[in-house]
């Protein structure tokens, strides 16, 4: 109690207040994309990403300490994530990442990318070993089976999602349609993932090492 009072007294005397961590702020845009960070940020980064893309996973892992924990956290930069779906495993991952809602999306998305080598290999093996059976399933059931067979479902359950919540997300066809529509509505100039737009201008075929200087030049800190 004395420690808390001392901290409170310090803020009163100095006029200081804890800085807001904007990396903990996220919302779903009307388009269906996720916006992470300060909506009024000076630097606006848009990423078209695929969860089964190795370059996207590499970008996520390498950029996390600076992009999310510094640039987005400070409020200087926002990140809009638009899914660019390539296959059923990708769609399964996107559904599960979004299933955690605005509060959990960023961390869950990062975790899925970080574990990509494990669940993607397992998912491909599952598809190859069960191809005939999966072909008999409706499309929606195939996506769910891929989520379970790859270990993605178990991963998000370990992060606190219940079976009921996961079932509801895979049954939410309007939300799934929104994810798929993000790909359908993507500009024709996008020919690979990840593809970035920095303050409205495309920055194609770059990784974190090339993008970081461009972000700093634009005012990210």
Is the confidence at residue 2, as pLDDT, over 80? no
Residue-range domain boundaries for the chain: 2-218
Q: Pull the structure tokens for residue 219.
A: 């005012």
| pLDDT value of residue 7 | 45
List b or e across 182-199, with b for residues whose CB sees 16 or more CB atoms inside 10 angstroms.
bbeebeeebeebbbbbbe
Is the confidence at residue 190, as pLDDT, over 90? yes
CATH number for region 2-218: 3.40.30.10
Tokens 């009307």, located at residue: 30
| pLDDT value of residue 16 | 54
C-alpha torsion 28→69→159→163, nearest 10: 10
Read off the pLDDT band of 8 (50, 70, 90). very low
Give pLDDT tens digits for 29-64.
999 999 999 999 999 999 999 999 999 999 999 999
| pLDDT value of residue 87 | 97
Is the confidence at residue 133, as pLDDT, over 90? yes
Report the pLDDT averaged over residues 179-189: 97
Report the pLDDT averaged over residues 61-88: 98
| pLDDT value of residue 17 | 56
Is the confidence at residue 111, as pLDDT, over 50? yes
Is the confidence at residue 4, as pLDDT, over 60? no
């Amino acid at each position: 109690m004395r420690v808390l009072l001392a901290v409170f007294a310090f803020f009163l005397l100095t006029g200081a207040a804890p800085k807001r961590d904007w990396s903990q702020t996220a919302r779903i845009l009307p388009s269906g994309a996720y916006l992470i960070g300060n909506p009024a940020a000076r630097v606006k980064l848009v990423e078209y990403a695929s969860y089964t893309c190795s370059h996207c996973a590499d970008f996520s892992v390498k950029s996390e300490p600076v992009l999310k924990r510094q640039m987005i956290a400070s409020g200087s930069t926002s990140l809009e994530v638009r899914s660019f779906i390539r296959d059923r495993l990708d769609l399964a991952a996107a559904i599960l990442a979004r299933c955690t809602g605005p509060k959990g999306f960023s961390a869950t998305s990062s975790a899925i990318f970080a574990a990509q080598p494990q669940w993607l290999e397992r998912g491909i093996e599952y598809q190859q070993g069960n191809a005939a059976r999966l072909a008999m399933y409706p499309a929606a059931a195939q996506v769910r089976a891929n989520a379970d067979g790859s270990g993605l479902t178990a991963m998000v359950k370990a992060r606190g999602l219940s079976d009921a919540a996961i079932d509801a997300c895979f049954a939410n066809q309007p939300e799934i349609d929104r994810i798929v529509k993000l790909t359908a509505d993507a500009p024709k100039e996008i020919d690979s993932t990840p593809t970035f737009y920095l303050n409205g201008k495309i920055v194609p075929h770059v990784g974190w090492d090339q993008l970081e200087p461009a972000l700093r030049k634009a005012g990210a800190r």
